[in-house]
Chain A
Amino acid sequence: MPKNITIFTTNTCAYCVMVKKWLNAKGFSYEEVNLDQDPSRQSEALELSGALTVPVTVVTKADDSRDVIVGYNLSQLAPAVS
């Protein structure tokens, strides 16, 4: 089980909705950072992902190691939360 999950999203991003739907279906809780509501955290998302895109999902594991997944990518998301 991951320690925590943070998703960077925007209001209009349908792929962000998909990440949330997938995590909900698997029973994971997460913190959402909406960059439209909180634009000041945009640089944080960019620093973590190196990309100018959302969703960015940050999975912090029990040993505090982190996986950063850019986009709606189940082949990376599934192993990251397992």
Chain B
Amino acid sequence: MAEREIHDVVIVGAGPAALSAAIYTTREDIDTVIYEKGVIGGLAAVTDWVDNYPGFAQGVAGMELAESLQKQAERFGTDIRLGEVLSIHDEGELKRLETTDGEVYARTILITTGSDYKKLGIPGESEYYARGVHYCATCDGAFYRDKRVVVVGGGNSAVQEAMFLTKFVSHIDLLVRSDKFRASEILQEELKKHTDKITVHFNTTTDEIIGENGKVTKVVGTDKKTNKKVEFPTDGVFVFIGLKPNTQFLKDSDVLLDEIGMVITNAYLETNVKGVFAAGDVRSGATMQIASATGEGATAALMIRKYLEPHHM
């Protein structure tokens, strides 16, 4: 029988929570492997600019912060693999993980899979995906130089990404379903500096994306106050309507999730399955900030060390 590959800890996802945890574990010689299916650095890496992460007086580009976290984790010997964890299986002392690169075993698992953008689920959205409908301003904004776009959403991401897009576009219609923003006061204040380019439409639902000859031409919505249809001529649509936790890979495991699919942990960041921990945005009750994700990552690493001591060290 082939040798089984066993690690002290396998971390699922390589966002700030994961990289921070790995800095702590590998620095203490706890053998650590991370699997990342997308971008090393997670959502922090696709964020244009981070103003509130402690230690950077002038702020820091998300990509630079991600790069720095990766280098720090690798300096101590973290093994970051580009692949996806498909499922996890509790086999007592050892946990088995199915990945796109085959099977690995771990004494402990840390779930730091964060969350992904939600889709609107309206006609035209999937048809024009990446051809006029987008979920990543830092990736696709450059294609809209001097063009009109619609941004959908009223939370932090929508406001932050709309302001980022003003670097390229001529005009933005920002469609907000409710009568006010969910975005923080600070971001709302910032937004006021962009009234030359951004027009905010409150109480407006986004119902359909319409195009001609393979190109998006308009977004049709409803003004909830008058119940009338409204049309926004546009070259593209950027959707930022919130996030859903990346926990689909846990559906056949025993790990308990809350009603919206986030991982439930105790105060020690351990799930109901012994030896399986969770940290960062994916954790039920998370505050969805990079600083809290890195803090939880560090805490989880210390809890993992404690768990491993009597077991194997």
State the A residues within 8 Å of B (CB). Answer: 10, 12-18, 21-22, 25, 35-36, 39, 42, 46, 50-54, 70-72, 74-75
Contact = CB atoms under 8 A, between A and B. Distances in A.
Nearest to A45: B143
B114 interface: no
A52 B39 contact: no
B131 interface: yes
A2 B62 CA distance: 33
A21 B39 CA distance: 10
Interface string B22-62: 00000000000000001111000110100000000000011
Contact of A14 (B82, B83, B138, B236): B138
B139 interface: yes
Q: How large is the interface on B (under 10, 10 to 19, 20 to 34, 35 or more residues)?
A: 20 to 34
B41 A14 contact: yes
A53 B139 contact: yes
A18 B41 CA distance: 10
A52 B140 CA distance: 7
B143 A52 contact: yes
14 contacts: A12-B142, A13-B138, A14-B41, A18-B82, A42-B142, A50-B131, A51-B130, A52-B131, A52-B134, A52-B140, A53-B134, A70-B130, A72-B38, A74-B83
B213 to A, nearest CB: 13
B40 A54 contact: no
B139 A14 contact: yes
Interface of B: 38-41, 45-46, 48, 61-63, 66, 82-83, 100, 130-132, 134, 136, 138-145, 236
A46 B214 CA distance: 12
Given A12-B48, A51-B131, A52-B130, A17 B140 contact: no
Contacts of A21: 40, 82
A54 B143 CA distance: 9
A45 B5 CA distance: 42
B165 to A, nearest CB: 11
Contacts of A70: 130
A17 B132 CA distance: 23
B40 A18 contact: yes
Among B39, B62, B132, B142, the most chain A Cβ lie within 10 Å of the Cβ of B142
B134 A14 contact: no
Contacts of A54: 139-140, 142
B39 A14 contact: yes
Nearest to A34: B142
A72 B37 CA distance: 10
A71 B138 contact: no
B27 to A, nearest CB: 23
Given A10-B142, A22-B82, A53 B41 contact: no
